[in-house]
Amino acid sequence: MTWHLFDTEINGIPSQVLLDDSFSKETPSDDLPNLARFSVFCQQTPESGYWHPDESSALDKIEHDLLGYANHFGNGWVVYVRRLDIPGVREYDLYFGGDADLAKVAPSLKEAHPGYRIEFESAADPGWTHYASWLAAHRAKES
């Protein structure tokens, strides 16, 4: 797994992307045809970055717990491929399939971190088209 960190803009908003390019040659789309997105909203207004520096350790703990819950409820059918940081929000994208029940992750996170707004959505993406677009954006940044 090779993670790449790059700065970009989304709809004119400065953003930072952490992207795993492990699946750039071949995606496990037959086994993991669904995309889940978890959004974690910061409690404090960012000063000049993506989150307030005083929140860094809390956000890192939420990330750790999110990945732990995803692994638990994913039953081996989930991969974490991207984190998107925009001012005040961290978004996590994971592909899943099989008997993974990632809808259980957000309630578990909310219980563990009651002061944070955490949202979850999922959709079918059998061709990993979102992933392909993120790779293309990364490659454009490298050029």
* Domain harbouring 81, CATH code: 3.30.70.600
Domain that holds residue 55: 36-133
The amino acid at residue 94 is: L
The answer for residues whose C-beta is within 8 angstroms of residue 20's C-beta and 6 or more apart is: 1, 2, 3, 4, 79, 80, 81, 82
Is the pLDDT confidence value at 1 over 60? no
Q: Would you say residue 10 lies in a domain?
A: no
Side-chain-side CA neighbours of 70 within 13 Å: the count stands at 22
Residue 15: its pLDDT value, please? 95
Domain count, the chain: 1
DSSP 54-66: GGHHHHHHHHHHH
Tell me whether residue 1 is in a domain.
no
Q: What is the pTM of this model?
A: 0.95
Tell whether the model's pLDDT for residue 29 goes beyond 80. Answer: yes
pLDDT at 142: 78
What mean pLDDT is reported for the chain? 95
Token readout for 35 is 């995309």
Residue 142 domain flag: no
Classify residue 16: in a domain, yes or no. Answer: no
In this predicted structure, which of 7-16, 63-72, 89-98, 122-131 has the lowest mean pLDDT?
7-16
Residue 60: how many other CB atoms lie within 10 Å? 10
| pLDDT tens digit sequence for 5-17 | 999 998 999 999 9
| Domain annotation covers residue 105 | yes
CB count, 10 Å around CB of 46? Answer: 16
For residue 123, is pLDDT > 80? yes
Per-residue confidence band for 33, with pLDDT thresholds at 50, 70 and 90: very high
* 117 found inside a domain: yes
User: Which residue in 69, 84, 99 sits closest to 131, CA to CA?
Assistant: 84
| Torsion sign across C-alpha atoms 114, 119, 122, 125 | negative
Mean pLDDT within 83-109? 97
pLDDT value of position 90: 98
- Cα–Cα distance between 54 and 38 in angstroms, integer? 22
Tell whether 17 is covered by a domain: no
Residue 119 lies in a domain: yes
